[in-house]
Homo-oligomer: A and B are copies of this chain.
């Protein structure tokens, strides 16, 4: 056993093999070599270290958002009368999650009841007699189940009668100006807590240097109040380069993007939220089926006779989606070694390029080839014979062999 260990020590631990180098004093090749080396080191520093920050471990953000809208609006719609709207009325869903909707325009159809009434006139619903209507049929684009009767819709038009919530909603006369125009002055408080679990980093968008009295009266402004988490709806829409009143008429979707990308090698207070705003739906007027954003909901009541009635509201408004994203990085020795090491191995490719240049493009290429290559010809060589220095041919093969020796 001792002998074996000794043998191992002799041949395995004591020896070191290093490649034999031919140093060539050639200004052109030397310059090309240094230039490429320089470029690669520049890339390693520039791309790997500065742009990609490959010396860092990364983590993705985990985020919680709560929102709270404030403000009151006033409408005076014929049939409904004067009405003050507060947050419980116009903020749907009420839960204050990361996506919230502010009602700005609406078509209200009060006092609907389950009964039968003439369908809205339309190519497929206009009828001359009962035979044009089919009892029990229901068009997916219609408003109810046909009773089979043909009744007067107006003095001139007859349509098929349907079982439905009557009277039917007439959704063609949407107010041209948003009823709740005052919504542009509503504000929203966005509370956002983020966590980078790998770094045990927790922070919220209400920064530590902001005090309560400031928060009671501040309002976000990119220049004067960049850390205030209270946003006026109009300002957000304006930052997305839209007009609030135009957008409010037919509705839309606005993204509130909060970017928490951080370099945690810097002190913690450099890591803060960066807000941006953009319209998420398409406002393109051409090819615009069902433009904007709207949905229908109803409030249900019971009359004194225990009959269910409802108020149907086709509500137009702006849906605000709070989208939190970001990646944090922090120095760590493992990815540093891995990435810088991997990048440096590319330096090996430099030699392939320079060898090609040296053996193909220089005047003395034959001389260089002669010194670089020793030929061991199997067909005419015997054991113990000395290496024959064969004449050198400019072979495609040699260059290829060189290419990948790096």
What residues of chain A have their CB less than 8 Å away from a CB belonging to chain B? 11-27, 29-31, 33-34, 37, 43, 47, 62, 64, 66, 68, 70-74, 81-84, 86-89, 92-97, 99, 101, 114, 138, 140-145, 163-165, 182, 185-187, 189, 191, 193, 195, 202, 204, 206, 208, 210-212, 215-216, 253, 255, 280-282, 287-290, 293-302, 304, 309-310, 312, 319, 321, 323, 334, 337-338, 341-351, 354-355, 358, 364, 366-368, 371-379, 381, 383-384, 387, 393, 395-398, 400-402, 404-406
Give chain B nearest CB distance to A254 CB in angstroms.
Answer: 10
CB distance from A106 to the nearest CB of B (A): 13
Contact, CB under 8 Å: B350 / A344: no
- A86's nearest neighbour on chain B, judged by CB, is B165
Contact B208 A287 (CB under 8 A): yes
Give chain B residues whose Cβ lies under 8 Å from the Cβ of A142. Answer: 72
Main secondary structure of the interface of A (DSSP, over half): mixed
Query: Which B residues lie within 8 Å of A141 (CB)?
Result: 70
Cβ A289 vs Cβ B215 within 8 A = yes
Copies in the complex: 3
Interfacial chain B residues near A405, Cβ < 8 Å: 17, 19, 21, 348, 351
| Assembled-state Cα–Cα distance A377/B14 (Å) | 10
Q: Are A16 and B26 in contact (CB under 8 A)?
A: yes
Cβ contact within 8 Å between A348 and B406: yes
**Does the CB pair B288–A212 fall under 8 Å?**
yes
Residue of B nearest to A34 (CB): B13
15 A-B pairs (CB sep. < 8 Å)? A11-B396, A13-B30, A17-B398, A17-B402, A18-B351, A21-B405, A23-B373, A25-B378, A25-B379, A72-B164, A84-B145, A87-B296, A212-B287, A212-B288, A348-B348
Which chain B residues lie closer than 8 Å to A208 at the CB level? 287
Smallest Cβ distance from A141 to chain B, in angstroms?
6
**Is there contact, CB below 8 Å, between B47 and A95?**
no
Given the known interface contacts A12-B396, A66-B281, A346-B345, the answer about A378 and B24 at a Cβ–Cβ threshold of 8 Å is: yes
**What B residues does A381 contact at CB under 8 A?**
367
* Chain B residues with CB under 8 A of A185: 138, 140
Query: How far in angstroms is the closest Cβ of chain B from A381?
Result: 7
In the complex, the answer to whether B95 meets A101 with C-beta atoms within 8 Å is yes
Would you call B88 and A312 a contact (CB within 8 A)?
yes
By the criterion CB–CB under 8 Å, are B140 and A400 in contact? Answer: no
Beta-carbon contact of A16 and B23 below 8 Å: yes
Residues of B within 8 A of A23 (CB): 15-17, 373-376, 398, 401
Q: How many Å from the CB of A323 to the closest CB on chain B?
A: 7
A53 CB to closest chain B CB (Å) equals 14
Given known A15-B397, A64-B255, contact A20–B163 (CB-CB < 8 A): no
Contact B164 A86 (CB under 8 A): yes
| CA gap between A14 and B298 in the complex, in Å | 84
A20 with B372, Cβ < 8 A, contacts A312-B88, A381-B367, A404-B37 known: yes
Most chain B CB neighbours (cut-off 10 Å) among A95, A195, A297? A95
Chain B hits for A215, CB < 8 A: 289
- Specify which chain B residues have a CB less than 8 angstroms from the CB of A346 in the assembled complex: 338, 341-342, 345
From B34, B211, B349, give the contact of A12 (CB < 8 A): B34
Q: Is there an interface contact between B22 and A19, defined as CB atoms closer than 8 Å? A: yes
Q: Are B97 and A99 in contact (CB under 8 A)?
A: yes
Assess the B376–A368 pair: CB atoms within 8 A. Answer: yes
| Chain B positions within 8 Å of A374 at CB level | 20-23, 371
